[in-house]
């Protein structure tokens, strides 16, 4: 956990700190793991929202990136990324349709769809209302639900959606799914099996409509190690993990990383020690994020205080209750917190402080912060 190495006063707290050596090791490990299994890697950049990190992922062999919104796609296209998949059931209203057309004219653009209605709307809006084939080559992938019960068509319905897209002149690349029900301890392998089954069934449904299914895209950070690709005789062709670049307390609890693979932490200052069993950090919810999965021990972990967690969280106060018999920090001390969900943290700040070998070496802008539309 690299930011613990920064000398006091190196950054103004609360501050988000990335250890670039740990980051690079994480990026390389996932790239190697995917390559070993014959899987393409298309990292989800909603986690880091940073052009600098996307460039590192591409330099390590990623075929492109995944984003969640048109606005994120615009930010990364502006940074030079040439192959972007909006892994989301995009509703192409007039504003977004024009922006999608502009993007597709400049980069290889793919978008997610999960209904015939969305496909027809997308095609009509891309044509700008004219009854002619879409002029810009927008690729589509049909989202299938593998058990999360969020968005996504039933796998057996994927062919119907894909056939509608093909009839509208859109280029159908394949199917994708998000095995997000892997986000429970012990659920990783089962979710990966669900992912494989849904992608295979989706591909079969496309075949039933006479359509090829070149891309079968899955993979979340916790389940990625179990995704079955070409080398394992499985149906998955591509992985879209996001969190693996930084990791967080949630991944630690899931067992999908170790403490020395946590690349991003939040540095806070002790602003109050009001009682022998309690201290207060300035790294509140507006920087460490308010998310707390039901099975998380607290609002974030404190590696310097064995077993300690953030037990109370307000916008600018992180309260740590201790057993009362250990050493308390003093007012003014700096304390590192491993946040529960790193994607939320990054979206709260304008830049990441970059540490290496115990020194503050750079600041990377969060280029796509707040790009929700």
330 binds a second copy (CB under 8 A): yes
What would the x/- binding string for a second copy be over residues 83 to 102, using CB under 8 A?
-----xxxx-xxxx------
Contact positions with a second copy (CB under 8 A) in 175-234:
180
Q: Rounded to the nearest 5 degrees, what angle is found at the Cα of 205, between the Cα atoms of 202 and 210?
A: 130
Q: Minimum distance between the CB of residue 262 and a second copy, rounded to whole angstroms?
A: 20
Question: How far apart are the C-alpha atoms of 59 and 66, rounded to whole Å?
Answer: 16
Q: Minimum distance between the CB of residue 159 and a second copy, rounded to whole angstroms?
A: 16
**Phi, psi torsion values for 147, nearest 5 degrees:** 135, -10
Question: How far apart are the C-alpha atoms of 222 and 220, rounded to whole Å?
Answer: 6
Work out which of 74, 145, 238, 248 binds a second copy, going by CB under 8 A.
145
Q: Minimum distance between the CB of residue 14 and a second copy, rounded to whole angstroms?
A: 5
46 binds a second copy (CB under 8 A): yes
- The burial of 350, by beta-carbon neighbours within 10 Å (0-12 exposed, 13-18 middle, 19 or more buried), is given as exposed
The nearer residue to a second copy, 54 or 285, going by C-beta atoms, is 285
The nearer residue to a second copy, 174 or 284, going by C-beta atoms, is 284
The nearer residue to a second copy, 37 or 248, going by C-beta atoms, is 248
The nearer residue to a second copy, 8 or 212, going by C-beta atoms, is 8
CA 276 to chain centre: 39
Tally of CA atoms within 13 A in the half-sphere of 105 that contains its CB: 8
Q: What radius of gyration, in Å, describes the C-alpha atoms of the chain?
A: 22
Question: How far apart are the C-alpha atoms of 105 and 354, rounded to whole Å?
Answer: 34
Q: Take residue 235 and report the two structure tokens written for it.
A: 């149906």
Strands 215-218 and 83-89: unpaired
The nearer residue to a second copy, 20 or 353, going by C-beta atoms, is 353
The nearer residue to a second copy, 60 or 246, going by C-beta atoms, is 246
Of 77, 65, 66, 118, the residue nearest 101 (C-alpha): 77
CB of 52 closer than 8 Å to CB of 293:
no
What would the x/- binding string for a second copy be over residues 101 to 130, using CB under 8 A?
-------------xx-xx--x---------
Question: How far apart are the C-alpha atoms of 141 and 85, rounded to whole Å?
Answer: 9
What would the x/- binding string for a second copy be over residues 332 to 351, using CB under 8 A?
x--------x-xx--xxxx-
The nearer residue to a second copy, 55 or 316, going by C-beta atoms, is 316
Of 34, 21, 57, the residue nearest 261 (C-alpha): 21
Q: Which residues pair with 279 in a beta bridge?
A: 320
Contact positions with a second copy (CB under 8 A) in 234-263:
none
Contact positions with a second copy (CB under 8 A) in 260-299:
269-275, 278, 280, 282, 284-287, 289-291
Q: Which residues bind a second copy (CB under 8 A)?
A: 9, 12-15, 46, 68-69, 88-91, 93-96, 114-115, 117-118, 121, 145, 149-154, 180, 269-275, 278, 280, 282, 284-287, 289-291, 312, 314-317, 319, 330-332, 341, 343-344, 347-350, 370, 372-373
């Amino acid at each position: 956990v690299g930011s613990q190495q920064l000398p006091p006063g190196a950054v103004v707290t609360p501050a988000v700190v990335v250890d670039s050596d740990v980051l690079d090791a994480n990026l390389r490990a996932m790239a190697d793991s995917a390559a070993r299994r014959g899987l393409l890697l298309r990292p989800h950049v909603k986690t880091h929202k940073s052009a600098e990190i996307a460039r590192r992922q591409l330099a390590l062999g990623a075929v492109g990136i995944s984003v969640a919104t048109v606005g994120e796609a615009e930010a990364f296209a502006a940074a030079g990324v040439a192959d972007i998949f909006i892994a989301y059931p995009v509703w192409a209203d007039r504003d977004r349709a024009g922006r999608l057309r502009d993007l597709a004219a400049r980069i290889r653009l793919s978008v997610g769809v999960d209904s015939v209605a969305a496909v027809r709307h997308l095609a009509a809006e891309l044509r700008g209302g004219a009854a002619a084939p879409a002029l810009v080559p927008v690729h589509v992938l049909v989202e299938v639900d593998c058990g999360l019960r969020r968005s996504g068509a039933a796998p057996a319905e994927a062919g119907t959606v894909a056939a509608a897209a093909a009839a509208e002149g859109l280029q159908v690349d394949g199917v994708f799914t998000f095995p997000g029900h892997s986000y429970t301890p012990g659920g990783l392998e089962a979710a990966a099996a669900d992912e494989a089954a849904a992608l295979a069934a989706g591909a079969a449904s496309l075949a039933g409509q006479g359509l090829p299914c070149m891309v079968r895209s899955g993979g979340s950070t916790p389940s990625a190690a179990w995704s079955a690709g070409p080398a394992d005789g499985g149906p998955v062709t591509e992985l879209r993990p996001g969190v693996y670049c930084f990791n967080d307390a949630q991944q630690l609890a899931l067992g999908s990383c170790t403490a020395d693979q946590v690349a991003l932490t939040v540095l806070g200052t002790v602003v109050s020690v009001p009682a022998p069993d309690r201290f207060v950090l300035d790294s509140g919810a507006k920087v460490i994020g308010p998310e707390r999965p039901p099975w998380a021990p607290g609002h974030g972990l404190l590696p310097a205080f064995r077993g300690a967690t953030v037990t109370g969280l307000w916008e600018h106060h992180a309260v740590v209750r201790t057993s009362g018999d250990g050493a308390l920090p003093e007012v003014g001390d700096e304390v590192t917190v491993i946040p529960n969900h790193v994607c939320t943290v990054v979206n709260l700040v304008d830049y990441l402080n970059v540490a290496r070998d115990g020194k503050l070496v750079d600041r990377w802008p969060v280029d796509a912060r707040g790009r929700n539309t």
